Each structure stands twice: as C-alpha cells, then as structure tokens.
C-alpha cells in the first residue's frame, strides 16, 4: 500500500504523519509532497521513502497512491 502525505509551511504536521505511519506500518511506502522545500525536507527527515516539492508533484502523486493524508486545507479551498 502506498500513502501520500501532503503538507506545507514548515512541514510540522506532515512530519508527524510520516513518523506515525512509518512507526506503526514500517512496510508501507510513504511518499511526501511539500508545497515548499522546508516541508519536503521535514517529511524526508521523518522517514518518507520518496519526496517531491510543488504543485505538479501533488497532482502526479495523487493518482499513484492508495491513501492521501494531510491537513484539512487540502480538501477545503479558502
């Protein structure tokens, strides 16, 4: 199973999500996409298997995973 974690700003929530998933389910592949490099680096340091940055990365990665995790702002605009 593949999990996508999306986060922005400093990547604090994304870092917590990656850590929680990897500690509970170490066999899962975790992809991390940050809206900026700080968020991406935080999630990568937390143990994400792959990482990318930017809007296009979000669009591409969403179609390749089974579960998408992130802040509520990724589903509610404005």
Q: Give 9-32 as a DSSP string.
A: TT-HHHHHHHHHHHHH-TTSEEEE
Nearest to 54 by CA among 18, 8, 15, 10: 8
Identify the segments of the chain with pLDDT beneath 50: none
Task: Tell me the pLDDT tens digit for each residue of 38-56.
Answer: 999 999 999 999 999 999 9
What is the distance between the alpha carbons of residues 33 and 51, in angstroms, rounded to a whole number? 6
Q: What percent of the chain has pLDDT over 90?
A: 86
Closest of 66, 60, 9 to residue 39, by C-alpha:
9
């Amino acid at each position: 199973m593949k999990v996508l974690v999306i986060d922005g700003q400093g990547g604090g929530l994304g870092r917590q999500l990656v850590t929680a998933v990897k500690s509970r389910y170490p066999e899962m592949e975790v992809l991390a996409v940050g809206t900026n490099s700080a968020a991406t680096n935080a999630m990568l340091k937390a143990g994400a298997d792959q990482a990318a940055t930017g809007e296009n990365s979000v669009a591409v990665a969403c179609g390749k995973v089974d579960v998408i995790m992130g802040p509520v702002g990724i589903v509610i605009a404005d």
